[in-house]
Amino acid sequence: MSLVSIALKQPSLLDQCPVTAAVEQLASTGGIEERGAVNTRREVADFILDLSGYTANKPLHTLRLLEPSFGDGDFLVPAVERLLQAWQSAGAEGEPLVTLGPCIRAVELHRHTYERTFAAIARLLTNSSIPASAALALADHWLLCGDFLLADLPDNFDVVVGNPPYVRQELIPPVLLAEYRSRYNTVYDRADLYIPFIERSLRALKTGGVLGFICADRWMKNRYGGPLRAMVAKDFHLRVFVDMSNATAFHSDVIAYPAVTIIGREKAGVTRTANNPEISAGALSHLASELLAPVTDPATSSVREMVSVTAGAEPWILDSSDQMAVLRRLERDFPTLEEVGCKVGIGVATGADKAFIGRYDELDVEDDRKLPLVMTRDIQSGRVIWRGFGVINPFKDGPGSGLVDLADYPRLQRYLEVHKDAICRRHVAQKAPANWYRTIDRITESLIHEPKLLIPDIKGEAQIVYDEGKFYPHHNLYFVTSTTWDLQTLQAVLLSSATRLFVASYSTKMRGGFLRFQAQYLRRIRLPQWEQVPAGLREELRTAAQALDIAACNRAVFKLYGLTPAEAAALGGNGE
């Protein structure tokens, strides 16, 4: 009997085993957010079952299906319907419990949800002419109330389908999270609960078995998904990827950036992809047929074929194969942004902006204890139009310098004392009470005088703004400085579709097609060494950037990289 089963049947053990107590706590939690419950539309569940090969025209009564978190039965109900149809088409021979008992295993942690869905499955079986006693016995054999990540289950399933729970680590009891970490290599960094669900589900597959999930796509590119990506690359094949980020795949409007992934336990091969399909039974049925067949006419098909999508722990690039070829060529031929003398950083986070930030002229501190601050709203026009805000600077300048002595700055001391309650509520202040007035990030005053390129974190298109050396950046802005490249020349490169290619390939997409222009993605941009850029091309790049002429930036950047007409076309330009 599994640890979870013991917890559910013998509550007296709760005081003896902290892990069991934590499981019981989650099993009785009523909140949707805590449980990570997101219900999938029937059309989408059918789509995933089709892609996974679990169709009624096959002898499903000879296969084994696993549903790791069955919830209200979004996948379980259609799977049982298909199983019964296949069994009845084959003559419905044998006792239901004996013949169908091995066919399904489904797990649900939340007790009330388990009971509700158990009753629905029992009704479905009796409505299919299975005697009531046999229906109850079969439902009891199929369904387990417990924690999938701890439950005692065999590892020999033909199909695993479902929508794993979206639960952040902060909502998992620490003792239970520690147990998960001890069992699953993919519980890494800030990985949400759905990550070890995928790991265990993949390991539960037979050779040739198939996993079909709809879940957040973040793990395919983010840091925390690295171990899981490496696992897939080593032993599995990403058969199908369908971006559902702008499709209504769920019954509720959730910002989960979902994707459908079909992964086989087999040698890697071609990956077929599609984007944001129409959510209707007919459209998804047609798309499933397309995704399961080789693409014969790329010009008319909504399906694309890609090779070598998985590569160890590296982020997956699931965009156009033509664009991926350009990306790989640039990565092969040019060094990174930082290797050619550029540096990427992020602006200051204070932890208490209302205390540390205000109208520059109204901050009642010594003149050398405040700096003009540039924020996202200051650069919306593509140039810096300062709105007059400043930030308190509690640091001495210079390498290794610490905080200023407040006794030397009476106005600063009075100002900070007025705001002390808000400042001291921050974790950074509680961790080091003697340094209670520091900002989260160290402020280096000399940065204000450096020319820099300012880049907002989240944007639909690259928005790169030149600051000649007048402002300190806020924490929603990344910045690039350089000891080699002329920054206005570099601005043209960062404004171009080539930079969007780098960022879009590695960044996780936000709702509405927005991208995260974060340091980790900006550092992947490739550039030639400055001395290799001809003088005439330098001037062309600089002029295009000063005019904020994106088309001119693209033309000059395509020359910089030596793009062929085909490569330029893949980036949306003609290279002229």
Mean pLDDT of 201-230: 94
- Look at strands 304-306 and 271-275 and give their pairing: antiparallel
What are the structure tokens assigned to 94, written together?
A: 């044998």
pLDDT for residue 9 = 43
Q: How many Å apart are CA 209 and CA 194, to the nearest integer?
A: 20
Q: How many Å apart are CA 495 and CA 383, to the nearest integer?
A: 13
What are the structure tokens assigned to 167, written together?
A: 């639960």
Mean pLDDT of 127-134: 94
What are the structure tokens assigned to 176, written together?
A: 């239970």
> What residues pair up with 357 in beta bridges, in sequence order?
391
**Helices of type H across 240-376:** 281-291, 321-333, 353-356
Rounded to a whole number, what is the distance in angstroms from the first to the last CA of the chain?
A: 70
Lowest mean pLDDT among 285-294, 302-311, 507-516: 507-516
Q: Is 395 within 8 Å of 402 (Cβ atoms)?
A: yes
Tell me the DSSP string of 6-45: HHHH-GGGGGT-HHHHHHHHHHT---HHHHT--PBPHHHH
Phi, psi angle pair for 303, to nearest 5°: -105, 140
- Look at strands 205-216 and 258-264 and give their pairing: antiparallel
Supply the DSSP symbol for 369: G
Q: Is 439 within 8 Å of 394 (Cβ atoms)?
A: yes
pLDDT score of 325 more than 90: no
**Helices of type H across 353-406:** 353-356
Write down the mean pLDDT value for the chain: 90
Lowest mean pLDDT among 269-278, 361-370, 456-465, 477-486: 456-465
Tell me the DSSP string of 329-352: HHHHHS-BTGGGTEEEEE-B--S-
Mean pLDDT of 152-169: 92
Q: What confidence tens digit (pLDDT) does each residue in 247-289 have?
A: 776 656 655 678 999 999 999 999 999 988 999 999 999 999 9
Q: What is the enclosing helix (H) or strand (E) of 519?
A: helix 519-522
pLDDT score of 10 more than 50: no
Q: Is 9 within 8 Å of 38 (Cβ atoms)?
A: no
**Helices of type H across 363-486:** 410-418, 420-424, 427-431
Angle, CA of 494, 527 and 561, to the nearest 5°: 90
Residue at 86: amino acid letter: A
> What residues pair up with 370 in beta bridges, in sequence order?
392
> What residues pair up with 202 in beta bridges, in sequence order?
none
Residue 38's pLDDT band (boundaries 50, 70, 90)? confident
Q: How many Å apart are CA 10 and CA 544, to the nearest integer?
A: 72
Lowest mean pLDDT among 22-31, 337-346, 495-504, 535-544: 22-31
pLDDT score of 2 more than 70: no
Angle, CA of 392, 396 and 399, to the nearest 5°: 130
Residue 532: CB atoms within 10 A of its CB come to: 11
Lowest mean pLDDT among 1-5, 434-438, 491-495: 1-5
Residue 33's pLDDT band (boundaries 50, 70, 90)? very low
Q: How many Å apart are CA 109 and CA 71, to the nearest integer?
A: 9
User: Across the beta sheet with 342-346, what order do the strands follow?
Assistant: 342-346, 477-482, 452-456, 465-467
Q: Is 129 within 8 Å of 137 (Cβ atoms)?
A: no
Hunting for tokens 């032993």 — which residue is that? Answer: 235
Residue 94: CB atoms within 10 A of its CB come to: 11
Radius of gyration of the chain (CA): 28
Lowest mean pLDDT among 1-5, 271-275, 331-335: 1-5
Q: How many Å apart are CA 45 and CA 38, to the nearest integer?
A: 13
